Amino acid sequence: MGREPIITVIGSINMDLVVSVDRKPNRGETVKGESFDTLPGGKGANQAIALARLGATVNMVGMVGDDAFGYELKSNLEKENVQVEAVGVTEGISTGVAVITIAENDNSIAVVSGANEKVTPAYIREYEKIIKQSDIVLTQFEVPISTVEEAAMICEKHGIPIVLNPAPFEKLSDSLLDKVTYLTPNQHEYELIKGYKRYFENDYQSKLIITKGEVGAVFFENEKPQIVSAFTVQPIDTTGAGDTFNSAFTYMMTKTNNIEEACRFSNAAAALSVLKKGAQLGMPTKEEVNSFLSEQQSE
């Protein structure tokens, strides 16, 4: 089987403030909440933990504030076997938070970046050695886009593949798109991307992996979309499903050149992730994903 991959995640570290309600409030309306939880989150941290659960050696590059949330989140990453050498603590700025409302088996999220804005190009250059020793890099847009562009330049310099999860959506420059190995928008982000002609040239279509929730995932082969169907489960909390998919896909692309196989594994991981509350609690191990896939094949 060979060694497990070394994967670097560059991205956000947040505390999720989660409110569960029976239904989403209308504009100007107050509704009574059912429960409240404080849970570790942030797309970067979520993806790092999902990768560690799958067995990868994971380096996290990010920032937290000099506050209770920050120290708790850094400790949580360590507990999950994520390397935190490159997780800085910045004074005078709060740790990032996400306010998540769960209703009707779906979620809506408002994010305050806080210390994540301090993950600058200069900051990640300090950790170029970590990046160049990686088998692959995963990043998103909850840190400044200039930082993502710098990460892509470092990866190109050292011949390291990079997966970009373009969430929350930002317009991608041609330069960044040229350097990205795989681009993983969800359906909403893909609709925004469709406004850019270059995304539909064949060379760029081949980089697209589109996540479509209950439908599954779509990639392009010879300019034709290929659907990898999702697995049917009864979700408890969909928060973190996209992060789990991205992590599983990144992990599997170090193991195989078969995108369809990687998407199937990632769909299974995402399905398992929604069976528990919170972005990180349900993220599965590699053994759990493989067991789930075996069960699906035997049915």
Encode 92-115: b = buried (16+ Cβ within 10 Å), e = exposed: ebbbbbbebbbbeeebebebebbb
258 is annotated as contributing to ligand binding: no
Specify whether domain 6-24+32-294 bears CATH 3.40.50.620: no
Domain spans of the chain, in order of start: 6-24+32-294
What percentage of residues in the chain have a pLDDT greater than 90?
69
Using 50, 70 and 90 to split pLDDT, how confident is the model at 197?
low
Q: Are 227 and 267 in contact (CB under 8 A)?
A: no
Q: Are 95 and 14 in contact (CB under 8 A)?
A: yes
Spot the catalytic one: 106, 135, 178, 243.
Answer: 243
φ, ψ of residue 184 to 5 degrees: the values are: -120, 70
Asked if the model's pLDDT at residue 151 lies above 90, the reply is yes
Amino acid 201: pLDDT: 67
Asked if the model's pLDDT at residue 263 lies above 50, the reply is yes
271 is annotated as contributing to ligand binding: no
170 is annotated as contributing to ligand binding: no
Asked if the model's pLDDT at residue 285 lies above 90, the reply is yes
Enter the pTM of the model: 0.91
Q: State how beta strands 106-112 and 96-103 pair.
A: antiparallel
Residue 243 among the catalytic residues: yes
Amino acid 136: pLDDT: 98
243 is annotated as contributing to ligand binding: yes
Q: Which residue, chain included where needed, has tokens 């081949």? A: 206
Q: pLDDT tens across 52-82, in order?
A: 999 999 999 999 999 999 999 999 999 999 9
Asked if the model's pLDDT at residue 286 lies above 90, the reply is yes
Within 10 Å of residue 76's Cβ, how many Cβ atoms?
Answer: 18
Asked if the model's pLDDT at residue 258 lies above 60, the reply is yes
107 is annotated as contributing to ligand binding: no
9 is annotated as contributing to ligand binding: no
Q: pLDDT tens across 112-133, in order?
A: 999 999 999 999 999 999 999 9
Amino acid 58: pLDDT: 98
Amino acid 1: pLDDT: 47
Q: Are 160 and 138 in contact (CB under 8 A)?
A: no
Q: Tell me how far apart the alpha carbons of residues 118 and 115 are, in angstroms, rounded to a whole number.
A: 5
Amino acid 191: pLDDT: 86
Q: Name which of 168, 172, 138 is nearest 48 in CA terms.
A: 138
Q: Tell me how far apart the alpha carbons of residues 170 and 32 are, in angstroms, rounded to a whole number.
A: 34
DSSP helix/strand/coil, 144: coil
Token pair for residue 61? 């590059």
Q: Which residue, chain included where needed, has tokens 């392009």? A: 220
Token pair for residue 80? 């999950």
250 is annotated as contributing to ligand binding: no
1 is annotated as contributing to ligand binding: no
213 is annotated as contributing to ligand binding: yes
Assign residue 223 a region (left: φ > 0; alpha: ψ between -120 and 50; beta: otherwise). left
Long-range contact set of residues 153-157: C-beta below 8 Å, sequence gap at least 24:
153/179, 154/124, 154/125, 154/128, 155/131, 155/179, 157/132
Q: Tell me how far apart the alpha carbons of residues 207 and 236 are, in angstroms, rounded to a whole number.
A: 31
Using 50, 70 and 90 to split pLDDT, how confident is the model at 104?
confident
38 is annotated as contributing to ligand binding: no
Which residues have C-beta within 8 Å of that of residue 245, sequence separation ≥ 6?
184, 211, 217, 266, 267, 269, 270
Amino acid 299: pLDDT: 61
